[in-house]
Amino acid sequence: VLSMVTQLICLYLAGRAAMISGRLARPWPDLTSLRLPPVASLLLAVLVAGSVAPGMIGLAASAAGSALVMAFALAGFATLHGLTRGRTARPLILTGAWVATLALGWPVLVAAVFGLVDTMFDLRTRIGSGGAPPAANDR
């Protein structure tokens, strides 16, 4: 978990440095809009079932399933960021979620379940957000 978060931080900082230097060819994306396609939940079920197979098939399914769980965790954090946008407790919620994940590790599984539920049931549309993003994000 820590290595994945470290890689994400480095990727984020590299993208921001490219944007500040004017070398970013595309506009900065709204990271809270990250979603996985609904078929990803079916793929995860197949990979989890395949992970109990003996030999190389089980090992490959376990590795692919682990990578997909991390993708769902990222989608879960994107959902959390999107749903807390405009709320007064947003800094407390996000700081608590990220610190708990970095300090303990296992909360990434909660984020993955949150991302899986959002992928299957579209929580962002059902619950909605607290409002539009700040104007500074439009750059």
**The total number of structural domains that make up the chain:** 1
136, part of any domain? no
Q: How many CB atoms lie within 10 A of CB 101?
A: 20
For the stretch 57-74, pLDDT in tens is: 999 999 999 999 999 999
- Do residues 116 and 123 lie in contact, with contact meaning Cβ atoms separated by under 8 Å? no
pLDDT at residue number 30: 86
Q: Is residue 26 included in any domain, yes or no?
A: no
Let me know: does 68 contact 47? Beta carbons within 8 Å. yes
In a domain? residue 112: yes
CB within 8 Å of 131: residues ≥ 6 apart:
85, 86
113 lies in some domain: yes
Domain with 103, as residue range(s), is 33-130
Model confidence pLDDT, tens digit, residues 74-128: 999 999 999 998 899 999 999 999 999 988 989 999 999 999 999 998 887 878 6
Question: Can you give the pTM of this predicted structure?
Answer: 0.81
Q: Classify 134 in phi/psi space as left (phi over 0), alpha (psi -120 to 50) or beta.
A: beta
Per the domain annotation, does 13 fall within a domain?
A: no
